[in-house]
Amino acid sequence: MAKSRSYRLLCPIARGLDAIGDRWTLLILRDLHAGPARFTDLQTGLTGIAANLLTDRLAKLTQDGLMTKSDGQHGAALYQLTDRGRRTRDILFELALFGGGQPAPEDRVKPGNLRTVATTLGAAAARTALPDVGITAELRVDGEAISLTVRDGAAEATYGSATQPDVVLDTSYDALLKVSEGEITLMDFATTHSSIQVNTPGKDQQFMQVMQQILEQFQQV
C-alpha cells in the first residue's frame, strides 16, 4: 500500500482529510454507504479507477478502521463500512448539496452503477423527521433497483431490490438530478418523470410524503 501524504496537523479538519482526503477515497465511501460491495462493484461505480489504486484505497480504509473486508459467496470478498466509516455520511451529503450547485459540463457521464443514488437518498432521508411512517419502497432508476425503508423514524436506503415493497417507483437518474437541483418541481418529477406502482393500497400517500421530505432537503438555499 502506498502511504498517502499527510498534513500532519492537529486540526480536526486536516486529520479528517488525512483519512479520507485522497483522490477516490470519498467516492469509494459513497458507494459503500449503499451497502456491502465487491471489488468489481466498486470499480464499476467509480468508472475507471485503476485497479491498483482501488486496492490501495481499500487497504488504507481497512487499516484505518473505516471498512472491513470479509469473505462472501464463492470467493468473492465483500467490503463494508464499519460504524466509524458510516460517520462519513453527512460529509458526503453536504458535499452532494454543494456539488449539486456546481455547473456540470456536457462531457460528464453517469457513474457505472447507481449506488450513489442510494447513498444520497439515504443520507437525505436520515435527516428528515418521519415519526409515524412505515414503508418499504423500491426505486427503479434507469432500471437499477434501490431499496428504501422507513420505520420507527429511521430511514435506510440500500442498493438492490426490496423484498415485498409497498410501492415501486420507476424513474430516471436524469430526472432525479433535475429535481434535486431544483430544475424541475417535485410535482413534475412525480407525474411526468416517474411512474408508480402501488402494491399496498394507501401506502402511496405515505411514500409521496417521504419523497417530498427527502427532496426538500436539497432545496435549502
The footprint of DNA (CB under 7 A) covers 2-5, 22-24, 38-41, 48-53, 55-56, 58, 69, 72, 75-77
Lay out the site mask for a second copy across 66-85 (x = CB under 8 A, - = otherwise). Answer: ------------------x-
> Residue for cell digits 457521464?
109
Site for a second copy in 148-177 (CB under 8 A): 173, 177
Single out the segment in contact with a second copy by CB under 8 A; choices: 53-61, 93-101, 125-133, 162-170. Answer: 93-101
Q: Closest distance between a second copy and the C-beta of residue 121, in Å?
A: 12
Q: First-to-last CA distance in the chain?
A: 41
Give Cα separations from 101 to 88, 95, 183, 218 (angstroms).
21, 10, 11, 10
By beta-carbon proximity to DNA, the closer residue of 39 and 218 is 39
Q: Closest distance between a second copy and the C-beta of residue 139, in Å?
A: 16
By beta-carbon proximity to a second copy, the closer residue of 146 and 168 is 146
Among 81, 96, 130, 214, binds a second copy (CB under 8 A): 96
Site for a second copy in 98-117 (CB under 8 A): 98-102, 104, 107-111, 116
CA pair distance 173, 114, nearest whole angstrom: 8
Q: Under the criterion CB under 8 A, does residue 8 sit at the interface with a second copy?
A: yes
Are 30 and 116 spatial neighbours (Cβ–Cβ below 8 Å)?
Answer: yes
Q: Closest distance between a second copy and the C-beta of residue 55, in Å?
A: 19
Are 33 and 86 spatial neighbours (Cβ–Cβ below 8 Å)?
Answer: yes
By beta-carbon proximity to DNA, the closer residue of 28 and 167 is 28
By beta-carbon proximity to DNA, the closer residue of 20 and 123 is 20
**Which residues, including other chains, have CB under 8 Å from residue 118's CB and lie 6 or more apart?**
33, 34, 35, 146, 147, 157, 158, 159
State the DSSP code for 75: G
CA pair distance 205, 197, nearest whole angstrom: 12
Strand 154-159 relative to strand 67-71: parallel, antiparallel, unpaired? unpaired
CA pair distance 39, 128, nearest whole angstrom: 32
**Footprint on this chain of a second copy (rule: CB under 8 A):** 5, 7-21, 23, 26-27, 30, 47, 64, 84, 87-88, 90-92, 94-102, 104, 107-111, 116, 119-120, 173, 177, 180-181
